[in-house]
């Protein structure tokens, strides 16, 4: 066969094969079209109708809006900065005004790059295709999904004007930090309306849709600025702006708004609120129904709570030597201590401030509510109340601080140790609580029984599981800071218990009330006995294990109790004024005790009480000193803290104690000084 | 026409540049260029899809969102409707019994302090006093802090919170089930006659004899026997007989007033102060002995 003949035959074969391939492709396309069209989603009329959903708005008690969940508010193109529209068009689809849903030249280019430039994949989706994908399709990659997305885009182009399409697009694009659409993004990042955006701001925001997390300016500022420069460069290339304008805008400082409280400071609290709402109304109502929720949060107190905890944790880290480790380049690997703080209004139970950890962005685990940690001696006020109520004891009852072993049926004897491993001999109960003496607490719980102590704790509002063992008196059953703050509020409130709550009122979008909280207290403890315990706890703050609070400058009447657990795993301080009860916990999330660089353990007084003081100084600033209400049957005596007898001028370190009607001092049986004898039976002294 | 394979390139070129293939190529190019320029294929497909739009399913992310919004709105609307309907019924209620019968367990309604006061005033003194003293209410009402009242239907009866403008409880009251039952008995006219109530056995008197005996009591004691004569006056029909219970509860004795409205008989129960009722009974017994037989409007209206 001749060469031309072969050539012609080859050419013919190629021609027929191409024809066949085109036919097959055409048949497949037609087949795919009919398959895809069968369950193609319906496009709504008008397009903006289904983008609009009412938001659930969460407000602080002061009326400040804290958070918006869901909800899309459509802004017309006329209310959006031209810079932003141009930036979006330049970056996402510069031939938007020319094509009919598909940019064929760009598609061919993308196909070429994908096929012939290994390792590179270029997208060619137009704004209409992106809108189609965002509105109707999942992000699962498949050819059929892509094809259907294309068909819907074609329909959208036929059904709506370019302005309507662009408006729908910019109102629904996810922009990060929970913002959907340009108006929400503009408010979230710059605290202004979309119409007011400058060129630099517009370019920054227009760069976000590619990857809202990756280019989040709060988390990755430099990367976001780099993306902004790319957008500006595209705008210049397309001709919307000059190169000089692009350069100038890329140098402009960005006045980013502080991260919204919804993303950081209030989030532990807001998480709790949202969870409660979900339990009551179900997720659909919360995310799509549009509620108006008024919470109990006081934003100012919340800010101070966050600041106090963060400052306290920074100080704690210094003590622990975390910064020393950081200097050696190991900061990221170092486990940092955590903390929690809850502030509750005593006469209502309203949670005014709550911080569940050092940084919500790092961990969403709410240690203020979900973390059941051992309260240590912080539990003793329940024990002392029980002893006063059930055994008729009073703050001047004398006990011996001595080594104690409590036999436990079916288990090993319980031998609690004092914090300093020393014993001081006889002392009144007030001194025992002020100094947090464990041996006296052990003797008390042996007499009251753990069940009675649990009953008292329950009456105060502790809901966590409490193990009925003697060591309960020293706080060996886990409780949350919320429970501690709430139960101590019962003491602050003279024995009237208000359950903690965080939602004042829930309304629908039209303002119709769904629920409102009623502040109802219940007398759960005897007012006079409560006052006696409060008086003991005042001693803790004024001269005991929590006296750091006074040294730090908190001078209002206050009562509280420190708590430290074995191994220094937990450090607590829970205290209150007549109006505000606050609990602070610090510790590691897992497996490590708090020890400073010298190896000394960090107690509640060192770790948590300064945070409490810092917060309470700010939270009560400007408040006049207000005393705890004294029940009419209470009288005061000044006694010898060793003998419990009335003090005279020569008595060293006398203590003022509160007695109820019918209670008297032990002046008739005890000598002024009882020499310490560890063999002495407690029963000879205490009665 | 028979087709033969071109024998050489010249032949092949001659055939390729002929009119027909050129027209064909030009046609193909024209189609391609016009598509690139005018997007007619996309427009045709788009237009076709617009015509089928209404027949297609409401599926996809945004429709799901829309459906969820609709479900959420319906749920909210139901909650609001239930609440508003309880609230509306409570606002229209003139007695505690009406509120109790319309309020499902576990739910509550908010009333104004004035409305609660009106409801309270409909109660016989004895029962009202068991809920809260009228002096206490007066005190709360006069200091202006009591603005609303929340009534909650609980397992054991009613819980009532007298609230200030901040929703803080000024006073918490309870109406236990037995007291509520008592209120019901007082507020509702019971169908039947006094014979149906064993508590009045042997203590049923004709109405005229009863009221004649009432005349013997000093004026200031009359309200102690019948605390709410307005309630009896407001009933359609005529009182034909009066029964006195044989049981005193917390200083009160129940009186049963049998009313005949021409078509049926009903009994209204009202509590009277124990001492006043006893004093009335002694007059009734005396009158009974004097007249020995009282006139009656019906055959069975004699003392049993």
Known catalytic residue at A377: yes
Has this prediction a pTM greater than 0.95?
no
Give the closest-approach CA distance of A305 to chain B in angstroms.
Answer: 25
For B60, the closest of A7, A41, A54 (CB atoms) is A41
User: Scanning every residue of chain B, which has its alpha carbon at the shortest distance from the alpha carbon of A105?
Assistant: B36
What ipTM was reported for this prediction?
Answer: 0.72
How far apart, in whole angstroms, are the C-alpha atoms of residue B87 and residue B79?
12
Q: Which of A19-33, A362-376, B2-16, B201-215 has the lowest mean pLDDT?
A: B2-16
Residue of B64, B71, B72 to mutate, testing the A interface (most A Cβ within 10 Å of its Cβ): B72
The reply to whether residue A287 touches residue B68, judged by beta carbons under 8 angstroms, is yes
Inspect the interface and report whether the beta carbons of B7 and A282 lie closer than 8 Å: no
Question: Which pLDDT score is estimated for A673?
Answer: 40
Question: Nearest residue on chain B to A283, judged by CA atoms?
Answer: B72
Interchain CB contacts (distance < 8 Å): A and B: 154
Is A159 close to B50, i.e. CB distance below 8 A?
yes
Exposure on the CB side of residue B177, measured as CA atoms within 13 A: 4
Gap from A419 CA to chain B (nearest CA, Å): 43
Q: Looking at residue B48, what is its pLDDT?
A: 93
Most trustworthy range by pLDDT among A228-237, B117-126, B243-252: A228-237
- Do B49 and A37 count as a contact with CB atoms less than 8 A apart? yes
- Specify the residue for token string 């003998």: A643
Interface mutation vs chain A, best among B5, B33, B36, B49, most A CBs within 10 Å = B49
Distance from CA of A264 to the nearest CA of B (A): 27
**Cα radius of gyration (chain B):** 43
Name the residue of chain B whose CA is nearest to A145's CA.
Answer: B60
Interchain proximity A158–B49, CB inside 8 Å:
yes
The token pair that represents A600 in the structure block: 């000394």
Say if B51 is an interface residue toward chain A (CB within 8 Å): no
Q: Do A42 and B79 touch (CB under 8 A)?
A: no
Quote the percentage of chain A above a pLDDT of 90: 65
Q: Which two tokens stand for residue A191?
A: 């605290």
Say which range, A86-95, A315-324, A470-479, has the weakest mean pLDDT: A315-324
Which of A26, A289, A346 to mutate to test binding with chain B, by most B CBs within 10 Å of its CB? A289
Q: At residue B172, what are phi and psi to the nearest 5 degrees?
A: -110, 130
- Whether residue B80 lies within 8 A of chain A, CB to CB, comes out as yes
How many helices (H) and strands (E) are present in chain B, helices listed first?
A: 13, 9
Nearest CA in chain B to A38: B56
Average pLDDT value for residue range A269-297: 93
Tens of pLDDT, residues A514-558: 999 999 889 999 999 999 999 999 999 999 999 999 999 999 999
Describe chain B by its helix, strand, coil percentages, rounded to 5: 55, 20, 25
What is the pLDDT, as a whole number, of residue A668?
41
The yes-or-no verdict on residue B303 having pLDDT over 50 is no
User: Coil, helix or strand for B138?
Assistant: helix
Q: From residue A507, how far is each of A103, A566, B108 by CA, in Å?
A: 47, 47, 16
In this complex, do B83 and A513 lie within 8 Å of one another by their Cβ atoms?
yes
Q: Is B243 helix (H, G, I), strand (E, B) or coil?
A: strand
What does the pLDDT read at residue B248?
80
Among chain A residues, the shortest Cα distance to B47 is held by A158
Chain-chain contact of B72 with A138 (C-beta, under 8 angstroms): no
Q: Nearest CB to B47: which of A50, A158, A289? A: A158
First-last CA distance in chain B: 131
Q: Which of A267, A377, A480, A583 is catalytic?
A: A377
Please determine, for residue B139, whether its predicted confidence score (pLDDT) is greater than 70. Answer: yes
Q: Is B104 in the A-facing interface, judged by CB distances under 8 Å?
A: no
Confidence of residue B99 (pLDDT cuts 50, 70, 90): confident
- 3-state secondary structure at position A677: coil
- What confidence tens digit (pLDDT) does each residue in A637-650 have? 999 999 999 998 88
Kind of pairing between the strands at B252-260 and B238-249: antiparallel
Could you tell me if A542 and A579 are in contact, meaning their C-beta atoms sit under 8 angstroms apart?
no
pLDDT tens digit sequence for A173-201: 888 877 889 998 998 899 899 999 999 99
Annotated catalytic residue A308: no
What mean pLDDT comes out for the span B30-54? 91
In this structure, are residues A346 and A616 in contact, taking their beta carbons and an 8 Å threshold? no
Which residue of A lies nearest to B39 if distances are taken between CA atoms? A100
């Amino acid at each position: 066969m001749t060469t031309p003949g072969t050539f012609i035959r080859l050419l013919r074969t190629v021609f027929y094969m191409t024809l066949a391939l085109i036919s097959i492709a055409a048949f497949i396309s037609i087949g795919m079209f009919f398959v895809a069209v069968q369950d193609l989603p319906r496009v709504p009329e008008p397009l903006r109708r289904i983008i609009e959903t009412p938001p659930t708005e969460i407000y602080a008690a002061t009326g400040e809006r804290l958070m918006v969940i869901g909800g899309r508010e459509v802004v017309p193109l006329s209310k959006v900065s031209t810079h932003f529209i141009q930036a979006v068009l330049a970056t996402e689809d510069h031939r938007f005004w020319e094509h009919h849903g598909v940019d064929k030249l760009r598609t061919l280019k993308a196909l070429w790059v994908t096929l012939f430039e290994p390792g590179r994949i270029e997208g060619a989706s137009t704004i209409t295709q992106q809108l189609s994908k965002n509105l109707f399709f999942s992000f699962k990659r498949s050819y059929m999904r892509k094809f259907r997305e294309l068909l819907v885009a074609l329909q959208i182009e036929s059904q709506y004007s370019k302005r309507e399409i662009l408006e729908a697009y910019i109102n629904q694009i996810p922009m990060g930090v929970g913002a959907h659409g340009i108006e929400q993004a503009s408010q979230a990042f710059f605290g202004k309306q979309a119409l007011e955006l400058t060129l630099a701001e517009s370019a920054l925001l227009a760069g976000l849709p590619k990857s809202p997390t990756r280019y989040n300016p709060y988390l990755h500022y430099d990367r976001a600025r780099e993306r902004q420069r790319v957008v500006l460069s595209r705008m210049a290339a397309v001709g919307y702006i000059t190169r000089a304008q692009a350069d100038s805008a890329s140098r402009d400082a960005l006045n980013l708004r502080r991260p919204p409280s919804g993303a950081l400071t209030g989030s532990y609290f807001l998480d709790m609120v949202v969870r409660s709402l979900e339990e009551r109304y179900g997720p659909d109502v919360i995310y799509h129904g549009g509620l108006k929720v008024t919470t109990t949060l006081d934003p100012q107190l919340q800010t101070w709570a966050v600041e106090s905890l963060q400052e306290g944790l920074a100080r704690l880290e210094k003590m622990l030597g975390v910064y020393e480790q950081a200097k050696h380049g190991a900061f990221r690997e170092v486990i940092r201590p955590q903390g929690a703080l809850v502030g509750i209004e005593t006469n209502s139970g309203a949670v005014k401030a709550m911080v569940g950890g050092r940084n919500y962005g790092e961990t969403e685990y709410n240690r203020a509510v979900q973390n059941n940690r051992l309260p240590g001696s912080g539990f003793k006020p329940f024990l002392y109340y029980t002893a006063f109520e059930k055994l008729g004891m009073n703050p001047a009852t004398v006990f011996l601080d001595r080594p104690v072993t409590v036999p436990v049926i079916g288990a090993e004897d319980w031998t609690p140790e004092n914090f300093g491993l020393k014993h001081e001999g006889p002392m009144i109960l007030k001194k025992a609580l002020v100094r947090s003496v464990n041996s006296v607490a052990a003797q008390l719980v042996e007499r009251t029984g753990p069940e009675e102590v649990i009953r008292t704790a329950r009456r105060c509002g502790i809901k966590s599981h409490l193990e009925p063992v003697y060591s309960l008196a020293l706080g060996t059953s886990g409780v949350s800071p919320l429970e501690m703050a709430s139960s101590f509020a019962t003491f602050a409130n003279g024995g009237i218990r208000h359950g903690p709550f965080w939602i004042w009122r829930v309304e629908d979008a039209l303002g119709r009330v769904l629920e409102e909280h009623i502040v109802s207290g219940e007398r759960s403890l005897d007012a006079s006995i409560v006052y006696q315990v409060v008086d003991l706890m005042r001693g803790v703050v004024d001269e005991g294990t929590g006296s750091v609070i006074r040294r730090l400058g908190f001078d209002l009447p206050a009562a509280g109790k420190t708590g430290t657990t074995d191994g220094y795993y937990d450090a607590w301080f829970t205290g209150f004024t007549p109006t505000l009860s606050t609990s602070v916990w610090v510790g590691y999330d897992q497996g490590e005790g708090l020890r400073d660089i010298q190896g000394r353990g960090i107690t509640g007084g060192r770790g948590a009480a300064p945070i409490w003081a810092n917060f309470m100084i700010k939270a009560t600033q400007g408040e006049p000193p207000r005393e705890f209400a004294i029940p009419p049957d209470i009288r005061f005596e000044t006694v010898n803290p060793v003998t419990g007898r009335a003090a005279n001028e020569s008595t060293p370190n006398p203590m003022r104690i509160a007695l109820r009607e019918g209670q008297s001092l032990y002046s008739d049986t005890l000598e002024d000084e009882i020499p310490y004898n560890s063999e002495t039976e407690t029963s000879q002294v205490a009665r | 026409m028979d087709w033969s394979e071109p024998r050489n390139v010249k032949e092949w070129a001659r055939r390729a540049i002929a009119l027909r293939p050129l027209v064909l190529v030009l046609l193909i190019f024209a189609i391609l260029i016009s598509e690139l320029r005018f997007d007619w294929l996309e427009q045709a497909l788009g237009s076709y899809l617009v015509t089928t739009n209404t027949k297609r399913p409401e599926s996809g992310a945004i429709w799901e969102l829309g459906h969820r919004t609709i479900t959420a709105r319906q749920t909210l609307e139901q909650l609001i409707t239930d609440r508003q309907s309880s609230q509306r019924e409570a606002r229209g209620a003139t007695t505690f019994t009406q509120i109790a019968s319309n309020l499902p367990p576990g739910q509550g309604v908010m009333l104004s302090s004035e409305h609660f006061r009106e409801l309270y005033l409909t109660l016989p003194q004895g029962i009202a006093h068991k809920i809260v003293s009228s002096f206490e209410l007066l005190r709360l009402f006069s200091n202006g802090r009591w603005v609303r009242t929340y009534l909650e239907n609980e397992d054991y009866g009613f819980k009532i919170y007298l609230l200030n403008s901040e929703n803080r409880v000024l006073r918490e009251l309870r109406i236990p089930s037995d007291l509520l039952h008592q209120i019901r008995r007082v507020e509702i006219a019971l169908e039947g006659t006094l014979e149906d109530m064993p508590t009045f056995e042997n203590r049923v008197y004709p109405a005229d004899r009863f009221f004649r005996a009432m005349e013997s009591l000093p004026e200031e004691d009359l309200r102690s026997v019948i605390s709410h004569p307005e309630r009896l006056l407001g009933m359609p029909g005529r009182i034909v007989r009066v029964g006195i219970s044989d049981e005193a509860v917390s200083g009160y004795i129940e009186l049963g007033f049998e009313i005949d409205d021409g078509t049926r008989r009903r009994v209204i129960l009202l509590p009277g102060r124990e001492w006043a009722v006893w004093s009335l009974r002694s007059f009734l017994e005396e009158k009974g002995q004097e007249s020995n037989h009282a006139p009656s409007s019906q055959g069975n209206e004699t003392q049993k």
